[in-house]
Structure 1
Amino acid sequence: MNDALSDTRANAIQVDHVTLELGDRAILDDATFTVRRGEFIGVLGPNGAGKTTLMRALLGLLPLSSGSIRVDGQAVVRGNPSIGYMPQIRSGLAGRRVRGRDFVAMAADGHHWGLPHASPAVRADVERVLDLVDAHALAARPLSELSGGERQRLLLAQCLLGKPKVLLLDEPLISLDPRHQTGVVDLVRRVQRELGITVLFSAHELNPLLNSLDRVLYLGKGRAALGTVDEVITKAVLSRLYGSPIDVMRVNGRIFVMSGDVEIDKLDHAHEEGDEGHEHEHEHDHEHDHAHGHKAKGKHTHNV
């Protein structure tokens, strides 16, 4: 009994025989896996495999067709303060004149799109997270003057408000050049190690994460494979997840997942997971609970 309780407390996320459906399609079909506390997990998979859908289920925003999910030992609930969440970000931030510090504080009040009235406690927490991501200089400048990588630094600061135990980062590398991608991954890894928190970091390509991740969660055809890079990024496993023959090539410390003569991320990830209701650079109405139990609603355009 005590051993079982100890095992539960050692796990950050437990997915047990979970089926997730969108319309008549099973995004996950009887998936079971466990993420341990303090792990950095890269979440990958073909277009429409369910990376965003899984994160929304962890946030309690999508009902499960069957099975159960526990986060930090507790059943999934909407607005879980243990989770920090960075949604897929699109156009809109680049033109905003709001200062970086005010932008970060907006997440604490749930007022992402209006200036906050921050309490002393919120202001102190904002300074704490700005220090964590080394963004005090950025905090004094408007978002419109910042690069994509610099804005991602402030978005990560938002996620850290309230001291979450789990971070869900949904495609934070989109639209960033390789140098900024490396900077974002290194920053997340440093903060993750410093705080001892768990990170699920979804991405279109494995290589930017290779030097930082502990294990890979690969989704495809309703299945989930979780393990080390050597265990998961293999011809046999990926062919099963893609439902077609896949080759894996290792060249100069990089890994290339190939379908015939075409690299998978070039073929399959030229656009966002449209089957899951998210597209690049277009306006959409949405409502979701932001990290730490705050709700934001409205029509936004996001792009970094």
Structure 2
Amino acid sequence: MASAPRSRHGDSDDRGDAAPVISLRGAAVSYGERVVWRGLELDVHPGEFLAVLGPNGSGKTSLVRALLGRQPLSAGTLTVLGRPAHKGGRHIGYVPQQAVLSAQAPVRARELVRFGIDGHRFWPRPRTGAVRRRVDEILEAVGASEYADVPVGLLSGGERQRVRVGQALATDPRILLCDEPLLSLDLHHQRAVTELVDARRRSHGTAVVFVTHEINPILGLADRVLYLARGGHRIGTPEEVLTSASLSRLYGTHVDVVRVHGRVLVVGAPDETAAPPHHASPGTHEWDGVRS
């Protein structure tokens, strides 16, 4: 087994040879005859921040579903915290994609956070002082105390994602899975959400798997990148993966990676949702907070 990758940030180097919290060997996901990705060999260690990139249809959400125990592999093996992935695993926090909620939805922010503590159970639960204090501490930690009693459907996108991060942190996670948590957020709220996630990683050694179309808000945080495309993948540091040579080999066509004022722009990558891979036409992916 490969040793733990060294952090780019200097605060996780004590991971040493700690056992990985996620391990995939020869892993593949297919839907019928369509191979989403295969041959995936990946270890994620405590305190590591892994960014998962790629165009629509490349299997990013399928990876998250597999880690959550909701998507079986077509081949290979997957262990999470030393055991096969299974639904409802403890110590796994999950921040989902933004969902449209009715303004009449009765669930309040504090109740959503509480679900992270005692599960999505709607029968009567004891309202102990310890649980109330824990919920209040989490809401304060994510900056959501002022709207703790507001129905979630009335919150802005940024406010809602703060609460979702709080819900995920309530599980005291050793792994934090974030599936496109920055979609539809402005730059201010993107920064706030990424800072919350990174703060947990730094303070508790929580491993972060962060699926995103928008690499630039987390470019300075990611230790490694898993780039999925056309059934293939590349794994390495952002400097190793986000290059013209690396992505051109992955796509099998010329791709330019341009860095402008600290932002990354990928030009010429096929759009995998527009046509089958061998008919895909070149496109542009702007990794600057704009959907690719």
Match of 1:228 in 2: 237
What is the TM-score with the length of structure 1 in the denominator?
0.78
- Give the alignment's Cα RMSD to 1 decimal: 2.8
Tell me the SS of whatever aligns to 1:18. strand
Moved more, 13-22 or 240-249: 240-249
1:263 counterpart letter in structure 2: T
The count of corresponding residues between Structure 1 and Structure 2 is 266
Contact (CA 8 Å) 1:38, 1:193: kept in 2 or not? Answer: yes
1:71 aligns with 2:80: yes
Match of 2:23 in 1: 14
Deviations 1:24-43 (A, max 9, x none): 21111111111121011111
Q: Which has the higher contact order (CA 8 A, sep 6+)?
A: 1
1:264 aligns with 2:272: no
Deviation at 1:125, TM superposition (A): 3.6
Match of 1:278 in 2: none
Deviation at 1:232, TM superposition (A): 0.6
1:11-50 equivalences under 5 Å are 11-50=20-59
Tell me the SS of whatever aligns to 1:134. coil
Query: Which residue of 146, 153, 159 corresponds with 2:155?
Result: 146
Deviation at 1:130, TM superposition (A): 2.1
Change (3 A) 1:242 1:103: same
Once residues 48 and 265 of structure 1 are traced to their aligned partners in structure 2, the CA distance between those partners, rounded to angstroms, is 17
Moved more, 163-172 or 70-79: 70-79
1:11 counterpart letter in structure 2: P
Once residues 124 and 88 of structure 2 are traced to their aligned partners in structure 1, the CA distance between those partners, rounded to angstroms, is 19
1:72-221 equivalences under 5 Å are 72-92=81-101, 96-111=105-120, 117-120=125-128, 122-221=131-230
Once residues 144 and 59 of structure 1 are traced to their aligned partners in structure 2, the CA distance between those partners, rounded to angstroms, is 25
Once residues 156 and 69 of structure 1 are traced to their aligned partners in structure 2, the CA distance between those partners, rounded to angstroms, is 25
2:109 counterpart letter in structure 1: G
Once residues 123 and 113 of structure 2 are traced to their aligned partners in structure 1, the CA distance between those partners, rounded to angstroms, is 10
Any stretches of 5+ residues in structure 2 without a counterpart? Answer: 5-14, 270-281
Deviation at 1:122, TM superposition (A): 3.9
Query: Which residue of 256, 260, 263 corresponds with 1:254?
Result: 263
Contact (CA 8 Å) 1:95, 1:143: kept in 2 or not? Answer: no
Change (3 A) 1:42 1:184: same
* Percent of residue pairs identical: 43
Change (3 A) 1:148 1:44: same
Match of 1:245 in 2: 254
Deviations 1:263-293 (A, max 9, x none): 3248xx858xxxxxxxxxxxxxxxxxxxxxx
Once residues 88 and 33 of structure 1 are traced to their aligned partners in structure 2, the CA distance between those partners, rounded to angstroms, is 24
Contact (CA 8 Å) 2:50, 2:226: kept in 1 or not? Answer: yes
Once residues 251 and 123 of structure 2 are traced to their aligned partners in structure 1, the CA distance between those partners, rounded to angstroms, is 45
Tell me the SS of whatever aligns to 1:186. helix
What is the TM-score with the length of structure 2 in the denominator?
0.81
Once residues 264 and 159 of structure 1 are traced to their aligned partners in structure 2, the CA distance between those partners, rounded to angstroms, is 29
Deviation at 1:110, TM superposition (A): 3.7
Change (3 A) 1:144 1:88: closer
Once residues 265 and 115 of structure 1 are traced to their aligned partners in structure 2, the CA distance between those partners, rounded to angstroms, is 46
